[in-house]
Amino acid sequence: MKTTDTADLWWKNAVVYCLDIETFLDWNNDGVGDLAGLAQRIDYLAELGVTCLWLMPFYPTPDRDDGYDITDFYGVDSRLGHHGDLVEVLRMAKDRGIRVIADLVVNHTSDQHPWFKASRSSVDSPYRNFYVWRKEAPANQPQTVFPGEESGIWELDDKTGEYYLHRFYRHQPDLNVENPAVREEIAKIMGFWLELGLSGFRVDAVPFFLERDPGKSSDDDSNGDPHDYLKSLRAFLGRRTGDGILLGEVNLPRDEQVTYFGGEALDELTMQFDFVAMQKFYLSLAREDAAPLADALATRPELGRPAQWANFLRNHDELTLDKLTDLEREEVFAAFAPDEEMRVYGRGIVRRLPTMLGGDPRRIRMAYSLLFSMPGTPVLFYGEEIGMGENLAIGGRGAVRSPMQWNPGPNGGFSDASKRKLTAPVVEDGYSPRFVNVADQRRDPDSLLTFVRTLSRIYRNSSEIGWGTFEVLDQPHSSVLAHSVSAAEGRMVALHNFGQNPVSVALTIPRTDATTRLVDLLNGGEVELSESGKADVELDGYGYRWLRVIEQGSRRLY
């Protein structure tokens, strides 16, 4: 896929913000967040510097899996509003320079979806092959995506006496994506929402979406390479939008992730989350040693122009640690999830970053400074910008999906409904709305919200982060990650101290002439640079610095 216009690659230096409409703001006070409430907060997102809004599923649903169990791919859940409300959100976002993408969840449906109801009505139903059925289930079934939640991936349907495939929950039967009729429906679903104004999709669980029917022989290639199908979806998106994106959830080793970009052609997924770097980040935090993250970033496969890594510290699921070794995982558990209720599936943590770090503002700010300075595109989960905590009482992955905290009042300003009517309970510990909320932080120039706004602004003015070449810089301190990103527009050097002790970092910055300078983007002022390009940069415990290299003739803002 060839792209020549940089405007088509808007996502290379976007700021992505993920939210769940039903927990963001309830405007009609029925206890459930809605599109009308989201519309009231578009200006807040614009002030934060968000340029791409990612909406979690808003489709009609029985809501047994937080909206990922869908009964109508073309609809809007009536609790949240209707199509007109969504179009108004899209219009308001567009007016403020914010693009909107949504979850594309087409690896399964709810068992209440009309397709599945028709499929199980008879073995002769025309919708039978919309799903994967078997007369016999394998004796030794693999675990589902969520270990311990189900006994296996095949479920007996009493009505027809056959088994259907579900790689997730039994109430989420897998679609038969090898069926041409299903593929046609998926294209129609994408086309429908693109026509309404979406700029692309976050594609849920891509490897499971493309995985072949486990009942078929591995030699059966009658439906072609699954990656050819992913290429066709990317081509369809390009024809319909020109600059739309597919942001893929692919939690696999790096060499396998590359295949989902499309290899050298880069004609499949536009962006992928870097799960490896995220997990190594937490290992570095636990050890106060930058080496695990530095290695993860240095060994990232290099991507061509029309592809990108998406960086994140937290998302809406458990904080998975499945790519760490057993011993590494236990280190992170011991540091950040010492109690069993803080863990799930034997691989993940159900806490938010501030609580894992004991509320230490130095470490929290260092973490977000790093998120925005790493090469790639930063992705925020709602509430991160104010330091929200989790509510373990919700249970499992839902612990991090409590209502957004807008003010210190009842229900955190999320809703005027009674507590019992809320879609999820509000945090009630030391991270409750009384202590953590938007209203108070908007008025505080030293708040985390103000800091994240600043990071967003500087990141957007530093195009080299999204476009440039990454390099880990040599320096003597194991606790420090020093890296640079360079592009034709300029170069930036970032330093982050994972340790609690102050350090002085010796750097060498090649000079083009005597006018080369190092400007401190976060704190103001400059760092002295010797004639030979040497600089000693002071870092506090858990400190961070962004330094722009300014050379003769540079007209960069700083």
* Six-digit token string for 497: 């101290």
The class of domain 114-165 in CATH terms is: alpha beta
Topology alike, domains 114-165 and 469-550: no
- Predicted confidence at residue 1, as pLDDT, reads 41
CA 57 to chain centre: 14
CA 106 to chain centre: 18
N residues, the chain: 558
User: Burial of 394 by CB count in 10 Å (0-12 exposed, 13-18 middle, 19+ buried)?
Assistant: middle
Alpha-carbon gap, residue 223 to 528, rounded angstroms: 62
Q: Which residue has the tokens 């919708």?
A: 127
| Percent helix, percent strand, percent coil in the chain, to nearest 5 | 35, 20, 50
Alpha-carbon gap, residue 310 to 230, rounded angstroms: 19
- Predicted confidence at residue 558, as pLDDT, reads 67
Q: What is the pLDDT along the chain (558 residues), one digit of tens a residue?
A: 444 467 789 999 999 999 999 999 999 999 999 999 999 999 999 999 999 999 999 999 999 999 999 999 999 999 999 999 999 999 999 999 999 999 999 999 999 999 999 999 999 999 999 999 999 998 888 999 999 899 899 999 999 999 999 999 999 999 999 999 999 999 999 999 999 999 999 999 999 999 977 766 556 666 789 999 999 999 999 999 999 999 999 999 999 999 999 999 999 999 999 999 999 999 999 999 999 999 999 999 999 889 999 999 999 999 999 999 999 999 999 999 999 999 999 999 999 999 999 999 999 999 999 999 999 999 999 999 999 999 999 999 999 999 999 999 999 999 999 999 999 999 999 999 999 999 999 999 999 999 999 999 999 999 999 999 999 999 999 999 999 999 988 899 999 999 999 999 999 988 877 888 999 999 999 999 998 889 999 999 999 999 999 987 676 766
Sign (positive or negative) of CA dihedral 332, 348, 201, 16: negative
Alpha-carbon gap, residue 522 to 545, rounded angstroms: 7
* Six-digit token string for 65: 């899996």
Return the SS3 of 10: helix
> What residues are annotated to the active site?
204, 249
Alpha-carbon gap, residue 252 to 262, rounded angstroms: 15
* Six-digit token string for 244: 């739309």
- Predicted confidence at residue 2, as pLDDT, reads 43
How far apart, in Å, do the first and last CA atoms of the chain sit? 35
Alpha-carbon gap, residue 208 to 211, rounded angstroms: 5
What does the angle CA 401 – CA 407 – CA 410 come to, to the nearest 5 degrees? 80
What are the two backbone dihedrals, phi and then psi, of residue 45, each rounded to the nearest 5 degrees? Answer: -65, -40
* Residue 519: closest CA among 543, 545, 549: 549
Q: Which residue has the tokens 């863990």?
A: 343
* Residue 374: closest CA among 257, 525, 273: 273
CB crowding 191-214: b at 16 or more within 10 Å, else e: eebbeeebbbbbbbbbbebbeeeb
Residues 6+ apart with CB under 8 A from 43: 96
CA 353 to chain centre: 14
- Indicate the DSSP class of residue 131: B
What does the angle CA 441 – CA 444 – CA 447 come to, to the nearest 5 degrees? 60
* Residue 174: closest CA among 164, 184, 186: 164
Return the SS3 of 190: helix
Residues 6+ apart with CB under 8 A from 210: 177, 226, 227, 229, 230
* Fold adopted by 469-550: Immunoglobulin-like (2.60.40)
Alpha-carbon gap, residue 356 to 371, rounded angstroms: 17
- Indicate the DSSP class of residue 152: -
What are the two backbone dihedrals, phi and then psi, of residue 489, each rounded to the nearest 5 degrees? Answer: -75, -20
Sequence letter at residue 376: G
Q: Distance of CA 352 to CAs 241, 252, 437, 446, Å? A: 35, 23, 15, 21
What is the helix (H) or strand (E) element at residue 87, kind and residue range? helix 83-95
Locate the domains of the chain by residue range: 6-107+181-208+224-316+350-460, 114-165, 469-550
* Fold adopted by 6-107+181-208+224-316+350-460: TIM Barrel (3.20.20)
